[in-house]
Amino acid sequence: MFEILTEKIGKALKSLSNKGKLSEKDIDEALREIRISLLEADVNFNVVKNFLTEIKEKALSDKVLESLTPAQQIVKIVNNQLTLVLGKQSSQLNTSTKPPSIVMLIGLQGSGKTTTAAKLALHLKHSGQRVLLVAADNRRPAAVEQLITLGKQIDVPVYSEQNVLLTEVLCQNALRKAREMAYSYVIIDTQGRLHIDEELMTELSRMGETLQPVETLLVVDAMTGQDAVKIAGEFNSKINLTGLILTKTDGDARGGAALSITYITGIPIKFIGTGEKLNALERFYPDRLASRILGMGDVLTLIEKTEKNFDQEKAKKLEKKLKKATFDFEDFLDQLAQIKKMGPLSQLIELVPGFSKLPAQMFDGTEEKQFKKVEAIILSMTSEERHNPDILNGSRRSRIARGSGTTPRDVNQLVNQFSQLQKISKMVAKGRMLGNLKGLFR
């Protein structure tokens, strides 16, 4: 997300940093480039206009122009204004004083509601909540089956009923069960509907009055751009929305919806979907996203992803193995599996300060294929070979290549690279690493 925008805004701001003292003309030229990049990213015209007006007003102050680092001051101003446009501060899920807390997901057909319901359930489960999913889309049988399948994948129960004419009755029955079983959250996956369908919108209103949800979240496809903003505004005029979930943000390199929707509608974005996997749902932090857009990374999200996906006990065991220089292919395979849980490498790179400025073609998906190749090679080894790579002679390597669908050259390359990694770990274990590094600069 925001690849094009990040590149163009970064280029405009860099043009300022290449100059010493800045004039109003310099600032106007940079802002013109930013204006073009925002409009190309499908950001609402009024949002762009107000955004740039605020930046120019602050950038032309004596405090900025007479500063020793005016370009850095302007980057700071752009960052602050971008954060304000995105929503000032993060908005948490509301919680009922009397459990369970009911979250109702609504939206158009095809916006990703059912998958998002499962993603949200998994997110809440990871935070220690007991969650019940409710399949309330009886008009599309596949939706019920889909939610039940997703529920099994994340080990979260799904409440469903057949031959129920009124959705409100199904939801009331589900709520009764949730109270009996002491669930803390109930997530209701409603039927997709158009905002112009009066009958279905009336049904939503009745459900809201009956269930009194703490959250009514509109699930919006980020790839629809300005249509997403229009849809959110029209839904909100008929149903009292408490928040938004933007889906498919990984498929939209422009990002206009995210930059316009809260500013225009006043409805906060609470989560963004960053991929197809069920753990690809992030809480929305305006300041963190602003930092990502400006190519400054997002260290806090990276830390959270690491803490959530890396097993602390395994990390301690790995540390001991590295110190004793007994790190083997089994450990390497385990580390690969944990890295893959964190998401595509191209998304992780965006979170590292400075790395988002690297050419996009460096992370075009080929690294994921390389991961799979390495994994296939290691899985084709016997347990003894993984623990003791020294026994990998020519015939063993040929067998591994056949078993993994790779070539002997691929196997040789991996074994040689791993051998270098083991040597480095031994140097670290023996305290010789620092001395060797110093030798490189003599």
- Do 53 and 182 lie in one domain? The reply is no
Q: Are residues 62 and 106 in the same domain?
A: no
Question: Tell me, what's the pLDDT at 209?
Answer: 83
For residue 380, being part of any structural domain is answered with yes
My answer on whether 143 and 283 are in the same domain is yes
Domain assignment present for 195: yes
Residue 94 maps to a domain:
no
For residues 55 and 131, membership in a common domain is answered with no
Asked if residue 76 lies in contact with residue 61, where contact means CB atoms within 8 angstroms, the answer is: no
Token duo for residue 306: 């690491």
Q: Is residue 95 part of a domain?
A: no
From 160, 159, 218, 162, select the one nearest 194 (Cα to Cα).
Answer: 218
Cis peptide before 100 (omega within 30 of 0): yes
User: Does a structural domain hold residue 76?
Assistant: yes
pTM: 0.69
Q: For residue 271, what pLDDT is reported? A: 94
Identify whether residues 188 and 257 lie together within a single domain. Answer: yes
pLDDT of residue 361: 47
Phi/psi at 218 (5° precision): -90, 125
Whole-number Å distance between alpha carbons of 59 and 3? 25
Whole-number Å distance between alpha carbons of 316 and 400: 30
Residue 117 is encoded by which pair of tokens? 């319901």
250 and 342 belong to one structural domain: no
CATH number at residue 166: 3.40.50.300
Q: What is the CATH number of the domain that holds 19?
A: 1.20.120.140
Whether 47 and 123 map to the same domain: the answer is: no
Contact 106, 239 (CB under 8 A): yes
- pLDDT at position 182 is 93
- State residue 324's pLDDT score: 59
3-class SS string, 331-361: HHHHHHHHHHHCCCHHHHHHCCCCHHHCCHH
- Which residue among 86, 116, 131 closes a domain? 86
Question: 150 and 283 in one domain?
Answer: yes
Q: Which residues pair with 131 in a beta bridge?
A: 185
Q: Residue 310: inside a domain, yes or no?
A: yes
Number of domains in the chain: 3
> Going by DSSP bridges, is the β-strand pair 281-283/269-273 parallel, antiparallel, or unpaired?
antiparallel
Backbone angles phi, psi at 18, to 5 degrees: -80, -5
Task: Please indicate, yes or no, if residue 368 is contained in any of the structural domains.
Answer: yes
DSSP state of 251: G
- How much is the pLDDT for 32? 92
Last residue of a domain, one of 242, 261, 294: 294
**Do residue 166 and residue 238 come from a single domain?**
yes
The whole-number pLDDT of residue 323 equals 58
> Mean pLDDT by 10-residue block, N- to C-terminus, for the chain (442 residues)?
77 80 86 90 88 89 74 85 85 88 90 92 93 87 89 94 79 92 94 74 82 92 83 85 89 72 90 88 87 66 57 61 67 73 60 50 57 87 88 91 91 84 63 44 40
What is the distance between the alpha carbons of residues 329 and 374, in angstroms, rounded to a whole number? 10
Supply the pLDDT for residue 366.
56
What range does the domain containing 52 cover? 3-86
Last residue of a domain, one of 294, 320, 343: 294
Q: Are residues 310 and 288 in the same domain?
A: no
Whether residue 93 lies inside any domain: the answer is no
* Same domain membership, residue 114 and residue 51: no
CATH code: domain of residue 330: 1.10.260.30
Q: Which of 67, 75, 68 is nearest to 30 (CA)?
A: 75
Are 119 and 230 part of one and the same domain?
yes
